[in-house]
């Protein structure tokens, strides 16, 4: 994927080194990823909240080197989950689990880009490392108590492979993918 992206973009952008964009405006990248997620949610859920984006410290353009395709894909997945949680919470709040929610009823998602300075306690020099942290806050219900055990088992256990079931439904998945993009990842 990175090689394909490199061939597609590298001649158009002087800040591009292979698949890595050296000076990616993070706020713009977050906004593009949110717009794509919002479009997918509007197709599947028929509603999507807006986004409130803030950058700390407030500078005109916060840039960082990123692998643009991976950065975008990761943010789209995070935003899709946050949008779905917010819509489901709004449906549950109004006691209409199957009633369509209007986008104007939804509380906007919050995304904050922060520069974090980190001084390692094991470092004896005065060098510090800093990184950017992107926080996305949704207004979903959180994890139900019965899912805590499942989540712990999923994160720390070894589960059986779902490959046989995926092969059984291959025709169904291909026909579905041809019609519309999935709200959740198939992988």
**DSSP 8-state secondary structure symbol assigned to residue 119:** -
More confident of the two residues 8 and 95: 95
Q: Please state, in angstroms and rounded to a whole number, the distance separating the CA atoms of residues 53 and 91.
A: 24
DSSP 29-66: HHHHHHHHHHHHHHHHTS----EEEEEES--S--EEEE
Higher pLDDT, 5 or 41: 41
Report, at the CATH architecture level, how domain 2-141 is classified: 2-Layer Sandwich (3.30)
Tens-digit pLDDT profile for residues 127-151:
557 788 889 988 887 766 666 666 6
pLDDT for res 139: 84
Residue that is written with structure tokens 């994927």 in the block: 1
ω into 22 cis (within 30 of 0): no
Mean pLDDT over all residues of the chain? 74
Residue 35's pLDDT band, with cuts at 50, 70 and 90, is very high
Taking alpha carbons only, the member of 25, 88, 10 closest to residue 55 is 25
- Record the pTM: 0.65
């Amino acid at each position: 994927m990175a090689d394909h992206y490199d061939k597609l973009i590298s001649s158009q952008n002087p800040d591009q080194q292979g698949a890595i964009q050296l000076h990616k405006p993070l706020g713009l990248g977050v906004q593009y990823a949110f717009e794509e997620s919002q479009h997918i949610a509007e197709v599947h859920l028929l509603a999507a909240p807006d986004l409130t984006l803030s950058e700390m410290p407030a500078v005109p353009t916060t840039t960082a080197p990123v692998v643009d395709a991976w950065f975008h894909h990761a943010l789209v997945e995070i935003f899709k989950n946050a949008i779905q949680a917010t819509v489901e919470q709004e449906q549950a709040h109004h006691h209409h689990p199957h009633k369509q929610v209007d986008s104007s009823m939804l509380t906007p998602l919050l995304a904050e880009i922060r520069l974090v300075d980190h001084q390692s306690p094991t470092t004896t020099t005065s060098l510090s490392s800093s990184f950017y942290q992107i926080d996305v806050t949704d207004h979903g219900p959180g994890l139900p108590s019965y899912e805590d055990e499942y989540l712990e088992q999923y994160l720390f256990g070894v589960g059986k492979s779902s490959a046989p079931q995926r092969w059984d439904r291959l025709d169904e998945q291909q026909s579905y993918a041809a019609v519309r993009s999935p709200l959740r990842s198939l992988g």
